A and B are shown apart, each in its own frame.
Chain A
């Protein structure tokens, strides 16, 4: 049995999914966190089933790429059961999607999630009444606390066994006539291949959905008959056909809402509205934004530095001891030294900064601050020719470039996705932030790190401006839901941070250790020298020691490698004894901007094509070289 979780953005599908699957899908208080589907195998009362978490969608009409992905799955004929997750505090709007889901004629169960939030807003929902009206089971839940989920899956299993499809809600009489007419036309026509119920298809065609209209492109007579039917609706209602249908759906939902729910007391002016009036304020909003990020920065710097220093000393002593015990020229020493540097890099350099950064990011996400950032930054994004929604991939980029590139799916236009995907790779990811902290901030002081972050924003802005000259903005502007603040369930925030940290420990760290040992062996065999020789034009140009050449190659695998290989290549964790302050700064700037890591290149390839990925590689290499040169000049003249 295949179960699909379907619902509007930010209603808690992924939170629900994680309860079934363990923490596997990224969640945040942010509409559009999920852009591709995740699935898991599970068992409900002994029945094996596959549970799919699909991107949130406001409607089943054509929209952005993430929404199309959801619809494609629903229309594929492979889904046996739909769990329609909705935010109970937004019942009226959520029902508009439910009405369209019912037209798919797939067994469905409604998960009335965040029922506690609805009660707080003073909305009382008669669950049994709603279930009767829709003809399908309705189960109230609080997914973030796991409440009601057992009952939900029990009902889901029952609905699947009974093949319970629910009541298709009827539109007004004149509209139903037109739908009926269109349905019989489609049934008589044999060229329609979609395996979806004809009523659904008829509605989508009347709504002028370009995806379904393609189905009947060839059929002249069907096309003209459709046109006649649309005109009939337009004449009777005085608005375009798609609006007749959507208004009707809106009215039906409101009607259902009024029958099944009551607003018992008007929502009190709670603290959240008060907070929002400051956070979105035209002056204080930006002040708060600055303070939040400044505090965040300091938190990472202080926490990370306090742990890095003693650990580095410890590993430094250990390495000295090894040298004496094994002899500086022996193969065994090179092997253990490489291994130790790999371990030390993870424990002493990466984790001290990565852990506080990821916990802080998870908190900001779960509270719901990020959509406010999008609101505040929209005006600046417009200045560089981008759309306010583009801020989402950028913010995600501070975590990891791969989800950032994938998040460009929430943008409607391909030229937009191209620009934002390339710019998002310029944003320093957690690994590069670690490098900035561990090298620039730790060795040169916090101002050096702040300078790099500021430089980064300026470069992104200028690049955006230049790229958007070639690909002008065609979209009308920002339309973004701003969800309510949530007190984050601490367990969830910690689990999410752990999920991201584990990614480093399980995938990156072994590569780091392996890479470190490999570099050590290359050094032992003298091969390292030839790689450094090949790269010497670049390192000479930037005024860096030739021995850092190999670290730049390793950095293409994982960005953290550049940092850890650096201590390995230089043969010491006391970097300042062998590199000047200028060299440290130039190296950090270059590593912050140069070619994205392999995983990101693969993501770019998928999202914006081979050419786009190649473009990104060349572009970032050029930007990094240019900036590193400028930094060198600047440092040599002024510092």
Chain B
């Protein structure tokens, strides 16, 4: 298991857990990111900028701080 900010570009991962309070979990849930969901990392921004992921057929930009709190497991 690793955090989402460590997944490489074009890597796929399944969300295991989200470490955060009421606000973050709620926000991510509304964006379609829940434990169990499958994500594809499309882009990792330069200089530890945000990452761009695809989930359920749409794209979401996540800051590294947020991505670090999303625990995932790699999917082949």
A interface with B by C-beta (< 8 Å): 58-59, 61, 63, 89-90, 92-93, 96, 121, 208, 239-240, 242-243, 246-247, 250, 267, 276-277, 280-283, 286, 371, 374-376, 378-379, 382, 387-388, 412, 476-484
Contact = CB atoms under 8 A, between A and B. Distances in A.
Contacts of B63: 378, 382, 387-388, 476-479
Interface of B: 20, 22-32, 34-35, 42-50, 52, 56-66, 69
Nearest to A243: B25
5 interchain residue pairs of minimum CB distance: A477-B63, A379-B49, A58-B30, A282-B46, A478-B63
Contacts of A375: 43, 45, 49-50, 52, 61
Given A280-B43, A479-B28, 9 more contacts: A93-B32, A276-B59, A376-B45, A379-B47, A388-B61, A478-B66, A479-B63, A481-B60, A482-B52
A261 to B, nearest CB: 12
Contact of B42 (A93, A280, A479): A280
Given A267-B57, A388-B61, A282 B45 contact: yes
Contacts of A479: 27-28, 31, 60-63, 66
A582 to B, nearest CB: 38
Contacts of B25: 240, 242-243
A379 B61 contact: no
B61 to A, nearest CB: 5
B57 A89 contact: yes
A66 to B, nearest CB: 14
B59 to A, nearest CB: 4
Contact of B44 (A63, A243, A282, A382): A282
Nearest to B58: A90
A242 to B, nearest CB: 6
Which of A90, A371, A480, A484 has most B Cβ within 10 Å?
A480
Contact of B65 (A63, A121, A477): A477
A240 B24 CA distance: 13
Chain B interface, >50% SS class = mixed
Which of B22, B44, B63, B66 has most A Cβ within 10 Å?
B63
10 contacts: A240-B25, A280-B42, A280-B43, A375-B49, A388-B61, A479-B27, A481-B31, A481-B61, A482-B58, A484-B58
A378 B57 contact: no
B28 to A, nearest CB: 7
A92 B56 contact: yes
A174 to B, nearest CB: 19
A39 B42 CA distance: 39
A151 B25 CA distance: 38
Contacts of A58: 30-31
B12 to A, nearest CB: 15
B65 A481 contact: no
A375 B66 CA distance: 14
B43 A281 contact: yes
Given A376-B49, A388-B50, A478-B61, A93 B66 contact: no
Nearest to A263: B57
A378 B45 contact: yes
B44 A242 contact: no
A480 B59 CA distance: 9
Nearest to B10: A277
A378 B66 CA distance: 13
A59 B29 CA distance: 10
Contacts of B44: 282
A208 B66 CA distance: 22
Contacts of B26: 59, 61, 63, 242, 246
A476 B29 contact: no
Nearest to A59: B30
B47 A280 contact: no
B10 to A, nearest CB: 10
A374 B61 contact: yes
A463 to B, nearest CB: 22
Contact of B66 (A63, A282, A371, A476): A476
B52 to A, nearest CB: 6
B29 to A, nearest CB: 5
Contact of A208 (B22, B50, B62): B22
A247 B28 CA distance: 12
B35 to A, nearest CB: 8
A267 B60 CA distance: 18
Contacts of B56: 90, 92-93
A381 to B, nearest CB: 10
Contacts of B49: 282, 375-376, 378-379
A623 B40 CA distance: 45
A481 B23 CA distance: 17
Contacts of B29: 243, 246-247, 250
Contacts of B22: 208, 240, 242
Given A208-B22, A388-B50, A480 B60 contact: yes
